Amino acid sequence: MTNIIKYSKKAYFFGRYVFLKLRSAFLDLLPIILVVTFFQLVILRQPFPQFGEIVFGSFLVLIGLMLFIEGLEMGLFPIGESMAYALAKKGNLFWLMFFSFALGFSTTVAEPALIAVTQEAARVSADANLIDSSQESKENYALGLRLSVAFSVGLAILIGVLRILKGWPIYYLIIGGYILVMLVTLIAPQEIIGLAYDLGGVTTSTITVPLVTALGVGLATVIKGRNPLIDGFGLIAFASLLPMIFAMLYGIFVFS
Amino acid sequence: MSQIISEFYDGLFLTIIDVAPIVILVVLFQLLVIKQPLANPRRIIVGVTLVIFGLTLFLMGLEKALFPIGNIMARQLSEADFISSSYSDTSSWIAYYWVYIFAALIGFSTTIAEPSLIAVAIKANQVSGGTISMWGLRIVVAIGVALALALGTFRIVTGTPLYIYILAGYIIVIIQTIFSSKKLIALAYDSGGVTTSTVTVPLVAALGIGLSSVVPGSNPAVDGFGLIAFASLFPIITVLGYAQIMELINKKPKISSNEI
């Protein structure tokens, strides 16, 4: 009897917990639902095509978001934090730098969004007669661009981690980066500029961001004299800035 | 049913490929460099599994529900019939006003649902001891993306060069950086990069390419890009602006600007 009470209590708390998480995921999605419904019914005045499919898809989005956020705090954040603690405790600068670079490079190089954008870039460049329009030269171009972007993200995380260690103020580095972007823009071929600017936004995936953020905040927490808020953030900023510079430099290098 | 299952497997496979480099890297480092087991390995494995399944379902749902209808809407709103029915002078940039409103609202709402922004907001909230509210940060960033997409679609319609806007944006960020308190700067810079991932990018790319293929005299290869660049720049401006406003408000009653 007591067991039944115990289990039903447990089930109640679990159910309540899931309900609260579902509600909060629903609130996250509510704006999209409102905007899409408003435009479809009021502005375009059309019924929803395949209504069942859309309801089912929205349900998947809801469950998926709930599981992702739950897993974030259980899995991704602890991994980033414990790597930061362990590597800081080890006190070996080389391994910390190596890890940072490898994390940036390996999570970017196979990123589907990046592959898609580089192929698009190859097509656009071939159309503009900047590169040879044969399949092979397009593939080489796309691969080269992808590797230089992945390299730049690795370098970005490395520089960002070094900044946290040394306590350099972030704005000098970022503003310096902006000035570099402006200078490179002046000499970069017109066709690559828009793509290069967009590349900055696509390199950081949904799995990389939490991990890298936890790594930065973790490092800034363990290292004496660093403030997690002031010094812990900023890694993502480098990872969105450097790819722009490298993509344009790659364009200049290949086209000339 | 079998089709849904095969879609699920395809999505799961892609997500696992996304996670694999991280897992390999972390395991190699634990074994070879750190030589200590992770604390609480069971909990972490469960967490990573939840992330993989969650992201798979999330993306699968987006493919089914949001992306098809978002693409259709973006196309319909920029079609000549719709433009001419809502505004008489179709050659004017004002005729596309529903496109700007749609871009702003879809930018705002997809940013609120962006999982990586939620992650950064959770961390910022923890680190600041609760003074940075999760919803506050997300709403300010989402307003930035909304402004960015409205201006970005305006740019595509008018055909003005992208780099001028970006350079102007950089100059604004630099000026704001000089005058704002140093506490939120790193977070503000980060918020630029996190806004554009799973939910926003596919819709925004479709909107840009679709719009530039409809607008007369515009070339999708040159003009279709740039929306994502806008969406990564403007949140920095709104977050820095928000920090400045809060500072002004907090300064007046008493000197407690270290709250932010």
Q: Do B50 and A74 touch (CB under 8 A)?
A: yes
Count of other CB atoms within 10 angstroms of residue A236? 28
Which residues from chain B sit within 8 angstroms of residue A74, using beta carbons?
A: 43-44, 46-47, 50
Question: Which pLDDT does position B257 carry in this prediction?
Answer: 47
Put simply, whether B250 touches A (Cβ < 8 Å) is: no
**Per residue in B43-74, pLDDT tens?**
999 999 999 999 999 989 988 888 888 878 87
For chain A, the straight-line distance linking the first and the last C-alpha, in angstroms and rounded, comes to 82
Question: Chain B closest CA to A137's CA: distance in Å?
Answer: 19
DSSP assigned state of B38: P
- Inter-chain touch A76–B109, beta carbons under 8 Å: no
Place B255 in a pLDDT band, splitting at 50, 70 and 90. very low
- DSSP notation for B59-126: HHHHHHHHHHHHHHHHHHHTSHHHHHHH-S-TTSGGGGHHHHHHHHHHHHHHHHT-HHHHHHHHHHHH
Reply yes or no on whether the pLDDT at B259 is more than 80: no
Name the closest residue on chain A to residue B16, using Cα atoms: A207
With beta carbons under 8 A apart, name residues in chain A contacting B174. 175, 178
pTM of the entire structure?
Answer: 0.89
Tell me the shortest Cα–Cα distance from A44 to chain B, in angstroms: 8
Residues on chain B touching A73 (C-beta within 8 angstroms)? 47, 122
Do A231 and B115 count as a contact with CB atoms less than 8 A apart?
A: no
Is the CB of B256 inside 8 Å of chain A's CB atoms?
no
Angstrom distance (rounded) from CA B229 to CA B148: 9
Across the interface, of A75, A95, A107, the residue whose CB is closest to B47 is A75
Closest-CA residue of B relative to A85 is B34
Pairs of CB atoms within 8 A across A/B:
342
Q: What is the pLDDT of residue A101?
A: 95
Domain ranges of chain A: 75-255
Contact yes or no for B174 and A175 at CB 8 A: yes
Reduced DSSP (H G I as helix, E B as strand, rest coil) percent helix, strand, coil of chain B, to 5: 80, 0, 20
B252 min Cα distance to partner chain A (Å):
24
- Tell me, yes or no, if B219 comes closer than 8 A to chain A by beta carbon: no
Q: Is B97 on the interface with A (CB under 8 A)?
A: no
Chain B, residues 36-75, CB within 8 A of chain A, namely 36, 38-40, 43-66, 68-70, 72-73
Burial class of residue B85 (count of CB atoms within 10 Å of its CB; 0-12, 13-18, 19+): exposed
Cβ separation of B55 and A68 shorter than 8 Å? yes
Q: Percentage of chain B surpassing pLDDT 70?
A: 88
The answer to whether the CB atoms of A57 and B62 lie below 8 A apart is: yes
Q: Which helix (H) or strand (E) holds A164?
A: helix A135-166
The answer to whether ipTM exceeds 0.90 is: no
Q: Can you list the pairs that B9-18 forms with residues at least 24 positions away whose Cβ atoms lie under 8 Å? A: B11/B56, B11/B57, B11/B59, B11/B60, B12/B52, B12/B53, B12/B56, B14/A112, B14/B56, B14/B59, B15/B52, B15/B55, B15/B56, B15/B59, B16/B52, B17/A110, B18/A107, B18/A110, B18/A111, B18/A112, B18/A205, B18/A207, B18/B55
CB-CB contact of A255 with A168 (8 Å): no
Q: In sequence order, which residues have a C-beta less than 8 Å from that of residue B198 and are 6 or more positions away? A: A205, A206, B55, B58, B59, B62, B114, B115, B116
Q: Encode B181-195: b = buried (16+ Cβ within 10 Å), e = exposed.
A: eebbbbbbbbbbbbb
Query: Tens of pLDDT along chain A (256 residues)?
Result: 678 888 888 888 888 988 999 999 999 999 999 998 898 888 888 887 788 888 999 999 999 999 999 999 999 899 999 889 888 888 888 999 999 999 999 988 877 778 877 887 788 778 777 777 788 888 888 899 999 999 999 999 999 999 999 989 999 999 999 999 989 998 988 778 888 888 877 777 788 899 999 999 999 999 988 998 889 999 999 998 999 999 999 988 887 7
How close A9 comes to chain B (CA, Å)?
23
Of A31, A57, A207, the CB nearest to B65: A57
